[in-house]
Copies of this chain bind each other. A is one copy, B any other.
Amino acid sequence: MSKAQKDKSTEVRILAAAKKIFVLKGMSGARMQDIADEAGINKALLHYYFKNKEQLFEMIFMEAAAKLFPKINKIFDGDQPLFEKIESFCEEYITIVTDNPFLPLFVINEINQDPDYFLKKVWAGKSKPNPAKFLEQIDREVKKGTIKKINPVHLLMNLISMTIFPFMGKPMFQKNLGVSDTQFRQLMEQRKKEIPAFIIDAIKK
């Protein structure tokens, strides 16, 4: 059992352990025994708390999705000016993901495994991202002449890519650039300002 977990309640410990293992290994790579070990309990007790792997996985996945998406939606759907929206998105998203660095790859993987399951289960109802408003906002700024002519979809992709990808490519970047964990953290912290500045430089007239 990892010492960070020994004082928590059993159910919380299991969920934390499951999150760690699932997020690290994915649904098919995760072993119930690994989760039990990580939680410092045995398999029997694990099944005493959670019926089966699928149910446990779904809880973890939902929690992950719930952590990643609603805040984005709120920003995209909000009434801030475009540049402020971009700043808010980077700020909030990088903050979340810095504390949960493996979530993006985990979620992207599971979406790729079964896009429809994801659509049905996670985006059932209100939590579904609605980038329409954000896209229209970009379009309006283009037509007003405030920013350069750009396809809003590309701008959206650029924003999301620059914000998310470095976390998924962390080991690659680290091995390649010789960056320590602390340095990586600092880089991501910088990107909260760096990305908005970069984008605004790219599109402002």
Interface residues of A (CB under 8 A from B): 25-29, 102, 105, 108-109, 111-113, 115, 118-119, 123, 128-129, 131, 148, 150-151, 153-154, 157-158, 160-162, 164-166, 168-177, 179, 187, 190-191, 194-195, 198-199, 201-203
6 contacts between A and B (CB under 8 A): A111-B172, A115-B172, A128-B176, A131-B176, A150-B194, A150-B198
In the complex, the answer to whether A109 meets B109 with C-beta atoms within 8 Å is yes
In the complex, the answer to whether A112 meets B108 with C-beta atoms within 8 Å is no
Chain B residue with Cβ nearest A115: B171
In the complex, the answer to whether A151 meets B199 with C-beta atoms within 8 Å is no
Number of copies: 2
Residues of B within 8 A of A168 (CB): 108, 112, 165, 168
In the complex the two chains form, what is the Cα distance from A118 to B128 in whole Å? 36
A115/B29 contact (C-beta < 8 A), A151-B194, A198-B154, A201-B202 known = no
> In the complex, how many angstroms separate the beta carbon of A13 from the nearest chain B beta carbon?
24
> In the complex, how many angstroms separate the beta carbon of A109 from the nearest chain B beta carbon?
7
In the complex, the answer to whether A161 meets B171 with C-beta atoms within 8 Å is no
Instruction: Identify which of B26, B166, B176 contacts A28 (C-beta below 8 A).
Output: B26
In the complex, the answer to whether A166 meets B171 with C-beta atoms within 8 Å is no
Q: A115-B172, A154-B194, A160-B169 are in contact. List 7 more A-B contacts (CB 8 A).
A: A26-B26, A27-B29, A128-B176, A131-B176, A161-B166, A161-B169, A198-B202
In the complex, the answer to whether A175 meets B112 with C-beta atoms within 8 Å is no
> In the complex, how many angstroms separate the beta carbon of A167 from the nearest chain B beta carbon?
10
Residues of B within 8 A of A150 (CB): 194, 198
In the complex, the answer to whether A111 meets B171 with C-beta atoms within 8 Å is yes
In the complex, the answer to whether A157 meets B173 with C-beta atoms within 8 Å is yes
Instruction: Identify which of B26, B111, B162 contacts A158 (C-beta below 8 A).
Output: B162
Chain B residue with Cβ nearest A194: B154
Chain B residue with Cβ nearest A164: B165
In the complex the two chains form, what is the Cα distance from A27 to B177 in whole Å? 27
Residues of B within 8 A of A203 (CB): 201
